[in-house]
Structure 1
Amino acid sequence: MAFDDGWESLEDLPPFATTVATDTARKVITRNESPDISFDRSINPYRGCEHGCVYCFARPTHAYLGLSPGLDFESKLFMKPDAPELLERELSAKGYVPKTIAIGTNTDPYQPIERKTGLMRRILEVLEKTGHPVGIVTKSDLVLRDLDILSRMAERKLVRVALSVTTLDPKLSRLMEPRAPTPERRLAALRGLAEAGVPATPMVAPLVPAINDAEIERILDAAAAAGVEGAGYVLLRLPLEVRDLFREWLVTHFPDRERHIFTLIRQMRGGKDYDAKFGQRMTGSGPYAWMLGRRFEKACDRLGLNLRRTALTVEHFAPPPKPSAQLELF
């Protein structure tokens, strides 16, 4: 299927080769007990991400596989081809209690490889069939491919979609997230979702001091014009190897700002490059972080965002039959 990321009007990137291996994990739902996030279970159809976002906090997960969080994370991908079947098995397990599943919390489920595999669509088909609620995070307008499923699920309050809009400047976006769709395409995706009745939320994420933090209000203005009901933001996170990768990127593209940016980061992270403390890792602390938070809140108040939030429901959940279950005679 042909797909246009919106970059045809700008200079093409050099060819980028990726390899795809099979992830042989026998479970697809991952559990967490983090007190500062709104979900306790998630699905990640892929490991690694072709979008190549320099700031991605998930990059260190590739180090667990003996691969580099740098280029390997972008080019040596893993997929779970049997994820839909594994999901059906887990949803049919005795004692399973449904709660919203988050998809896209680690790597983007609508990254370019999804155009060929259709893995995310197959997962959505399982969730729709079983009436299971899901929250999706992406930065790709490829999500509109599945608008037929998403709109039906939205009618039953089974889905929300968040799109990351890091900047409205296409040149900056190309530097920060080279193989993700343009900002214009993401705003169009927000509009398409909202018009179809799918609860859509822009994520101003990540906020990078002295890089894109001046755009908070403009991004929210553009998103509100697309018809969204709410918005969110996340401060830049630099765990483990991400810090050094990000510093190298700054030295290459913004050498005059590198020291200033890290000074601001440390002001928001208790004097460190990163603070993983629950309740602070997403928003930071200190005067600069407080200012960003208040600017975001005031812009949302002015635009009427976050006044309501569509609550997802588990009332439609019907577990699939176990593979060994005998078919009914009538």
Structure 2
Amino acid sequence: MQRRTLLIASASVPTLLAAPALVRAQVLDKPKVTIAVGGKNLLYYLPLTIAETQGFFKAEGLEVTIADFAGGSQALRAVVGGSADVVSGAFEHTLNMQAKGQHLRAFVLQGRAPQIVLGVNPKTMPNFKTVADLKGRKIGVTAPGSSTNVMANFVLAKAGLKPGDVSIVGVGAGSGAVAAMRSGQIDAISNLDPVITLLQRSGDLKVIADTRILAEADKVFGGPMPAGCLYAPQSFIDKNPGAVQALANAMVRADKWVQAAGAADIIKAVPENYLLGDRAVYIDAFMAAKGALSPDGLFPEAGAATAVRALQSIDASLKDVKFDLTGAYTNEFVRKALAKVARG
């Protein structure tokens, strides 16, 4: 009897050993995923590019297509419209969409501070003294409704200005934004690196607020403000937990890769067009933004509440909305990804 039991147990060992591979194959419920992003070249989304160029998505069995748009609001529309599965975008969009009755949830963090810089044009505003001087002026953002627009509105609100007191102009996140400032088409800009560092180096920008610096971001927003992340409709997450876990695994690896990387590593890892024709500027921009990028993909517990306060301060229609803060994000997938990294 004992021998028979031993034989049965022994016979089952190969099946048990094979089970993890079988489970992996079954769990990857959607191997092909489309991610929409607004301004892929920005350091704000550097972990996304690293996950792509270093093969972290492929290592998880994923075939990822990245659709690049001029700004985060357009990337969001792509997912809402069904042409993309996941957004690589600003965290606060998940809360904004709650107010519109749509449940989107963030599941892995790329940035622990917004990295957005608001600055004025020294050519068109040589006598600038305070934010109130921006009344009646043109402010360039990546795209209207994007996180750069939210940041600009937030700083304006603190100075007693309303969104309608300025003209918002979409200038993108690359050479077009630089050209708009240098030619005087806009009087101020709310944008990210490498655009900001390039304008600073050439003397075409006077910085007003800089959320690349963690302490300043916390001061501006009154607490930790989650920034770039991957988020998706809750229905997509519920239907494809395996794909979401694989995406989280790849992004956590990318977050950690970025923190361990030096300037030479970054230059080799990103496409040439990201550098805007100046490698030294891109390296400076990376060093300026590195501290604001997430080291582990986890969302801070107080982050959702900070984002709600920021949104409510600039949009009166949101003041009475009952937000589901825990429904805006989950750390479940990242915790599993971190455990996987720890196991090696």
TM-score grouping bracket, smaller chain normalisation: under 0.3
Normalising by structure 2, report the TM-score. 0.25
- Where relative contact order (Cα < 8 A, 6+ residues apart) is larger, the structure is 2
The structure in which a higher percent of residues are helix is 2
